[in-house]
Chains A and B, each alone.
Chain A
Amino acid sequence: MKRCLSFFLTILFFLHPTSGQEKFRRLPPYPDPLTEWRPPRLETATLSNGLTVAVLSRKNSPFLSLQLLIRAGESLSPENLPGLATATARLLNRGTLLLSAMDIEDKLEAIGGQLEIITTYDRTLFSLTSLAENLDAALSLLSQIVMQPSFPANELDAVRRQLSYDFLEKRENPDYLAQKQLLRFLFAGHPYERGLFNEDSLRRITRRDIQLFFNRHYRPENAVMVIGGNLGLSTVSRRVSHYFNTWKKGDLPRPSVPGLTPSAEKIFGFVDLPRAKEVTVALGNIISGQLTDDIFPFLVLNQVLGGSPHSRLFMNLRETRQLAYTAFSEVEIFQGGWVFMIQAKFPPAAVAPGLKEIERELARLVEEKIPTAEIEQAKSFLIESFPLDLEALDSMTRRAAEMLAFGLSETHWERWSENILNLDTNRVTDVAQKLLTVPFSGVIVGDSRLLTNFFQEYGEIRVYDRKGQFLYTLSKGEAK
């Protein structure tokens, strides 16, 4: 009998599909020894007019990356003129004293260049890449754009048209709609609210408003320039000084941004997006963290919760419960505070159970100690993926410019791994208990016809249009 059984088991073993393969294929291999590496050194200097210049050297780079960051974001637009910081930045490359908008495009492309202008709540970034041999031409062009703009009136109309078209396009994007509406809740009453402008406010902005904003905020002591490429600090300082030394220092103190405070109220909003098959949800609140003390534990915390596809939110909501298509979390750092946000996509029928699961995961972080293995995995993810974030030259220099604008030291990068490596479960749990006890507001974007059951079951929901205008409130038991 025993012989019969072992014969049968042997046959079964050989019939199993994995039995015929080489042994090494069955399990994932061990990694090779870790490659030793130090992040690139950020070298800085300050020119006599107050402009901070920094260099990140990279050998054999075929490109140069120039980031000129001006601490003039939408929070500095006057209360009655939201959008002014954006309009100012967009008009700068539309004409200088010597060059027309088309001349600027020609000159830019003649150096193999690309210029991106981004205005955020805190700052404006001029991000220029060019072929490596064109440092002088790139600096010359950038200096003309930010030091000698002519603000052509006809180009202001073009800027308004382009921004209006951009808004129109974005209003079809559920992620954009959910994020913006959530930020409207979180930034209510704060100068950051001005960054949530739409095309209507652009009509009020005049050429004179732009000139005044420019004169006040586009000053060398209010700017940081980071250059990346096959270069050293002495060459860069010399060349930057050559093109930017006539940029005059301002006489007004740098305005400070008031701190953001977490919302004590839990608000839920809805934006109707007909024909959308999926439902997009954004949940979040302000986090009162300290950049120097709390940022690294909070990054680990975010990694555990939703920083990547193997974090808790994705694994639980998508893989285990099959409620969501995606579920991630992220922390965005502003001068006035941090915004912690969770974004998920659900089939319409799964929105209510999905929201409950997100709440449960948030509560778990505060109430239960995170297992050491999970903390270690999150830490190694953050340490090992760091070089990947620095691979593209422009993302490396952009990150460095942001870092300097926040007033972090040049050694912040060099100590990146060390700062994460030293964290343990207790430290991360402490930060979770300190910062994650605030209520999370949320915004749901989807096709209202597919969400009738959800509206009837859920509590009070404020309904907005896609431009952010409040329409009405839905109460429990009501369908749209």
Chain B
Amino acid sequence: MKESWRLRGIVIGLFFLLFFSPRLLGQVEEKTVSLPFPFIYFQLKNGLTVILSEDDSLPVVSVVVGYGVGSVDEKPGQAGLAYLIENLMFQGSLNVGPMQHFSYISRVGGRPNARTTSDLTLFFETVPAHQLPLVLWLESDRMMSLVISEEHLESARAAVLSQLAQLRFQESFLDSFLLFNQMIYPDFARNHPVTGYEDDLQKLSAEQVREFYHTYYVPNNAVLCLVGNFNRRRAKELIEKYFETIPRGKEISRSLPDSPELKGPFIRSYVDPLASSPAAHVAYRVPSPFSAEYPVFQLIDYILIKGKSSWLQKRLLQREKIAVRLEGGLENNKGVAYLRFFVVANNDIMVERSLRAIEAEISRLKSSLVSSEELALAKTKYLASLKRRQATSLDRAIMLTEAYFTHPPLEEIAVIQEKPLKVGASDIVGLANRYFIPENLAVLQVRIR
């Protein structure tokens, strides 16, 4: 009798395990996070991470599908492959014809787009809320069955080459940016442009493209994020329907070797036949984005360069009026970070003066404590930019997707984002002295003919 009860207990236990275990139901444990705004996330059994954040203020929903792939995953000779696939994703999949993705979304009043960076590829749409099934159908089709035929490849290649020519035409400093990237990132993975090289793009075969697609554009290397006006139960039902049967891909290891130290000062100058004015690039290598010191540099970014009240913008553009264009900021390239500046002036003398002014402002940061007012101002600017990244449903969906790839686990997103707000003036002076040193410095002066 006892045995039969035990057996019955095991059977009931198995029943509950089978029918209520989220893992066996196809979902790993669901986690709820309330900051910076409420969202939940879970994984399907094929490894696809799903993030859902409901907001009923407008009848709109934004969908982001992010893949953990970018230009850093390309091998030498394949520069531009990830960007090419971004384009190919609009050329058609098994059930969706060429450019139909675009047409389906815009037909219902929606806005489709995509973006490839050095380590991420994002596809996103904002649509009227009741069109959610359409977006999920479209995104699942290209995740499952992208058509990589010679014809589609040629069409995507032509589009990318045309964009490349257009970019070269519009940005007269493009060559100098590429050259400077090669100075500060010695490894191919980090130093080649996301848009690729024309020669490499011309040579890429359909077989190479297929192999790259089947390796990286798989559910276990992807995130599906929904933000907006939807019913959670209905959204889960649709997601399971369209995504759960997409086969899991092979496990991917994306660890890149750390980029070697700069061993500067690394100073060069060159004549750029296409540049419209003299200019200069400046960069300091700073600690990795995963280090405890990084939040201090996130704040230094706002003190030195971000916003019109920053030290360099004020001095170069407003007070001394020696530059006509100044931009830059903290750059994170797959675990390697630089604080970069790019300055354009009317002549070489003004460029030299701008370089001296940048050096002087950095010395100021190293030699005295930033005042409490300036520290508060930098923190407000940082906070405002953080909130601007959450302004619309699409902004929030992109932020969550990027955060998943850069700062797992997602429960800590608010804590990580708030770290720069806890930085003190003494942290800044200490780390500025440690990192703003000649060994971490690279400068490229651009001269015109």
Residue numbers of A with Cβ under 8 A of B are 17-18, 21-22, 24-37, 58-60, 62-63, 101-102, 105-106, 108-113, 131, 158, 161, 165, 172-173, 275-278, 308-310, 319, 325, 377, 380-388, 390-393
List of A residues within 8 angstroms of B60 by Cβ: 387-388, 391
Say if the beta carbon of B160 comes within 8 Å of chain A: no
Say if the beta carbon of B319 comes within 8 Å of chain A: yes
List of A residues within 8 angstroms of B318 by Cβ: 101-102, 105, 158
Contact A393 B391, beta carbon cutoff 8 Å? yes
Contact A35 B130, beta carbon cutoff 8 Å? yes
Contact A102 B383, beta carbon cutoff 8 Å? no
**A22-B245, A106-B309 given; 18 more Cβ-contact pairs under 8 Å:** A28-B137, A31-B130, A34-B130, A37-B58, A59-B57, A105-B308, A109-B307, A109-B380, A110-B380, A112-B383, A276-B169, A277-B162, A277-B165, A278-B166, A310-B106, A325-B162, A377-B107, A386-B109
Contact of A32 with B314 at beta-carbon distance under 8 Å, contacts A165-B324, A385-B110 already known: no
CA distance A110 to B374 in the complex (A): 9
Contact A25 B94, beta carbon cutoff 8 Å? yes
> Which one of B12-20, B96-104, B361-369 contacts A?
B96-104
Interface hits, B303-352 → A, CB 8 Å: 307-309, 314, 318-319, 321, 324-325
CA distance A275 to B165 in the complex (A): 9
List of A residues within 8 angstroms of B391 by Cβ: 62-63, 392-393
Quick one: which of B102, B141, B390 contacts A25, CB cutoff 8 A? B141
Instruction: Closest A residue to B380 by CB, please name it.
Output: A112
Contact of A102 with B314 at beta-carbon distance under 8 Å, contacts A30-B133, A380-B109 already known: yes
Quick one: which of A21, A101, A381 contacts B108, CB cutoff 8 A? A381
List of B residues within 8 angstroms of A308 by Cβ: 106-107
Contact B387 A62, beta carbon cutoff 8 Å? yes
CA distance A325 to B162 in the complex (A): 10
B348-392 vs A, Cβ < 8 Å mask (1 yes, 0 no): 000000000000000000000000000011001101100110111
28 residue pairs from A and B, CB less than 8 Å apart? A18-B95, A21-B145, A28-B104, A31-B108, A32-B130, A35-B129, A35-B229, A101-B318, A102-B314, A105-B308, A105-B309, A109-B307, A109-B308, A109-B309, A110-B376, A110-B377, A131-B383, A275-B169, A277-B162, A277-B165, A310-B103, A377-B107, A380-B109, A384-B131, A385-B110, A388-B60, A391-B58, A391-B126
Contact of A319 with B134 at beta-carbon distance under 8 Å, contacts A102-B314, A112-B384, A131-B384 already known: no
List of B residues within 8 angstroms of A24 by Cβ: 241-242
List of B residues within 8 angstroms of A382 by Cβ: 109
Write the nearest CB–CB distance from B195 to chain A, whole angstroms: 15
Say if the beta carbon of B59 comes within 8 Å of chain A: yes
CA distance A63 to B392 in the complex (A): 11
List of B residues within 8 angstroms of A381 by Cβ: 107-109
List of A residues within 8 angstroms of B132 by Cβ: 32
- Interface size of B by CB at 8 A reads 63
Contact A388 B126, beta carbon cutoff 8 Å? yes
Write the nearest CB–CB distance from A271 to chain B, whole angstroms: 15
Quick one: which of A26, A172, A310 contacts B95, CB cutoff 8 A? A26
Contact B59 A37, beta carbon cutoff 8 Å? yes
Instruction: Closest A residue to B147 by CB, please name it.
Output: A17
Interface hits, B50-79 → A, CB 8 Å: 57-60
Contact B384 A113, beta carbon cutoff 8 Å? yes
Quick one: which of A30, A34, A158, A275 contacts B321, CB cutoff 8 A? A158
Interface hits, B230-255 → A, CB 8 Å: 234, 241-242, 245
Contact A319 B308, beta carbon cutoff 8 Å? no
Quick one: which of A35, A63, A106, A388 contacts B111, CB cutoff 8 A? A388
Write the nearest CB–CB distance from A105 to chain B, whole angstroms: 4
Quick one: which of B137, B170, B321 contacts A172, CB cutoff 8 A? B170
List of A residues within 8 angstroms of B144 by Cβ: 25
Say if the beta carbon of B116 comes within 8 Å of chain A: no
Instruction: Closest A residue to B383 by CB, please name it.
Output: A112
Write the nearest CB–CB distance from B170 to chain A, whole angstroms: 7
Say if the beta carbon of B26 comes within 8 Å of chain A: no
CA distance A380 to B109 in the complex (A): 8
Pairs of residues from A and B, 8 with the lowest C-beta to C-beta distance, nearest first: A385-B109, A112-B384, A35-B59, A384-B109, A29-B133, A105-B308, A384-B128, A37-B59
Say if the beta carbon of B393 comes within 8 Å of chain A: yes
List of A residues within 8 angstroms of B380 by Cβ: 109-112, 131
CA distance A30 to B137 in the complex (A): 11
Contact of A62 with B390 at beta-carbon distance under 8 Å, contacts A25-B137, A277-B169, A391-B58 already known: yes
- Which one of A106, A165, A377, A388 has the greatest number of beta carbons of chain B within 10 Å? A388
List of A residues within 8 angstroms of B392 by Cβ: 391-392
